[in-house]
Amino acid sequence: FEAILEETLIKRSQQKKRTSPLNYKERVFVLTKSRLTYYEGRAEKKFRKGSIDLQRVRCVEIVRNGGLVIPCENKYPFQVVYDTNTLYIFAPSNESRSAWVQNMKEEIKNNPQIVTKFHPQFWQGEWLCCGQEDKLALGCEEYNL
């Protein structure tokens, strides 16, 4: 499976459990036609930490930080929404972020469950864009693939 993109980026923990910590980890991200996979370490010593089936992805878009300080080195966030989870990834430059968002949008464009609306800002105990307190609340801005 050929890589479309491969780059070291930073991710925020998805906090799948109520007790999950909020932290930021440097991971090697690899995009193929079917999956987005992230690894700890590199080359022959890399260990797979997570992998998302692109067929389950409902939205890929940049995140506006609305004046909030981004607590990691990379300052260009984007989001990958799949099932009921949101993965926040931080790119080192606008060019890098655009490449990831554009390439991922291309791969998900025929998915049946693409959102009609999304949240343009972060989830931080509430949606910073619209103030809704339900993590699964309907998005507040029109989504364009």
* SS3 (DSSP) at 126: coil
Q: Is 86 in the site for Zn ion (CB under 5 A)?
A: no
Q: How far is CA 133 from the centre of its chain?
A: 20
Provide the minimum distance between the beta carbon of 17 and ligand 4IP in the complex, in angstroms, as a whole number: 5
Among 140, 142, 143, 144, binds Zn ion (CB under 5 A): 140
Q: Which residue, 17 or 109, is less far from ligand 4IP as judged by CB?
A: 17
Among 9, 52, 119, 122, binds Zn ion (CB under 5 A): 119
Tokens 């991922």 locate to 104
> Footprint of ligand 4IP on this chain (CB under 6 A)?
11, 13-17, 20-21, 23, 25, 27, 49-50
Instruction: Count residues near Zn ion (CB under 5 A).
Output: 5
Q: At 25, is the secondary structure helix, strand, or coil?
A: strand
Contact 14, 86 (CB under 8 A): yes
127 makes contact, choosing from Zn ion, ligand 4IP, none, with CB < 5 to 8 Å by partner type, with Zn ion
Of the pair 85, 96, the CB lying nearest Zn ion is at: 85
Range 84-122 burial, b when 16+ CB lie within 10 A, else e: eebbbbbbeeeebbebbbeebbebbeebeebbeebbbbb
Nearer to ligand 4IP, 76 or 82 (CB): 82
User: Site residues (CB under 5 A) for Zn ion?
Assistant: 119, 127, 129-130, 140
